[in-house]
Amino acid sequence: MNKTFFFGNGLNYLSKSALGWEELLVELMRGEEFEMKFLPNLLTYERIRLNWNSENGELKNIIAERLQNQPTNDFYKKILEINFENYITTNYDYAMLNSHLALDSKNSITHNGTEHLYSLRRNTSLLNRSKKTIGKLWNVHGELDFPKSIMLGMNHYCGSVGKIDRYLKGTYDFNHKEPHSPILTIEKKLETKEFDNYSWVELFFSSNVHIAGFGLDFSEIDLWWILTKRARLKSISNLENKIYYYTKPLIQVTREIELEQRKRETLKSLDVVIVEIEIINNNYQGQWEEFIKIMSSCD
């Protein structure tokens, strides 16, 4: 079975000068700071946007500009060397693509997305020196070169969930798919083992997914929706893939411990395997080395 690597901003934090999401949100408050601790990221953004009293596009353009120089690091290269077939990220930046290009001066990329707002089909092919596709990167929450696609706020998230729902029900349609090639329901795909590869959403049902460097906040409603859908299908469909969530032991969590415990309990109930690796002496790089060893050896 194919392997998919799903990552968030935790991988960027291994870079010395990376800009963190919370740091950026505080910057965008422009002096009108408020406590974010108990607010989901969705509502934090909505409140900031209201404070700006401007068009949504202006704020997204500023976010895209600030994140444009997000650095890469050696762990991106180590992950690329595992040779996953697919890479999914909620990040908007190009650290993964830059690492791919740095691995070999003759590597190249091809952008395949035709979407301007949503990102169900948005992906970039990673090509080797022979111009063969060796993997795909899916920017599922948008990307910097297309600021309108950056997924922030309730409207964008809820609209995305609606499209994901239609895709899994087989009612999603778009202009660039092959003619006379209807999208099957996810139940039919699992029964026939015929997957269309149009969307990253399918990978949560057709490949083994390794999630690391991602907090999976409860406000990530699109991803929780997919996980709950998969869990419901598990009992009635021929669903053989596995989903792994890599994190530190609960005993090392320093804030919102009860919330984190509830999240892990929920993930387990949704048939997600929790992989805990201890952080020793605040050495996050050592933890990631262990993550990579496990991912390399797993199916």
Task: Give pLDDT, residue 178.
Answer: 64
Terminal CA-CA length for the chain: 7
Instruction: Summarize pLDDT for 103-142 with one digit per residue, the tens.
Output: 999 999 999 978 989 999 999 999 999 999 999 999 999 9
The pLDDT tens digits for 205-214 are: 999 999 999 9
- Domain parsing of the chain, residue ranges: 3-16+72-297
Residue with tokens 């798919």: 177
Provide φ and ψ at 225, rounded to 5°.
Answer: -65, -45
> What pLDDT score was predicted for residue 17?
81
% of the chain surpassing 90 pLDDT: 72
Asked whether residue 190 carries a pLDDT value surpassing 80, the answer given is: yes
* Model confidence at 202: pLDDT above 90: yes
- If one compares 58 and 253, the residue with the highest pLDDT of the two is 253
* Phi, psi values for residue 245, rounded to 5°: -120, 115
Question: Residue 187 pLDDT > 90, yes or no?
Answer: yes
| Contact between residue 249 and residue 220 where contact means Cβ atoms under 8 Å apart | no
Asked if the model's pLDDT at residue 176 lies above 70, the reply is: no
Tell me if residue 264 falls in helix, strand or coil: helix
Mean pLDDT of 148-164: 94
Average pLDDT, the chain: 91
Q: What is the mean pLDDT of residues 19-34?
A: 80
Torsion of CA 286, 289, 294, 299, to 10 degrees: 160
- Rounded average pLDDT over 195-217: 96
Statement: residue 180 has pLDDT above 80 = no
- pLDDT band for position 47 (cuts 50, 70, 90): confident
Q: What is the pTM of this model?
A: 0.94
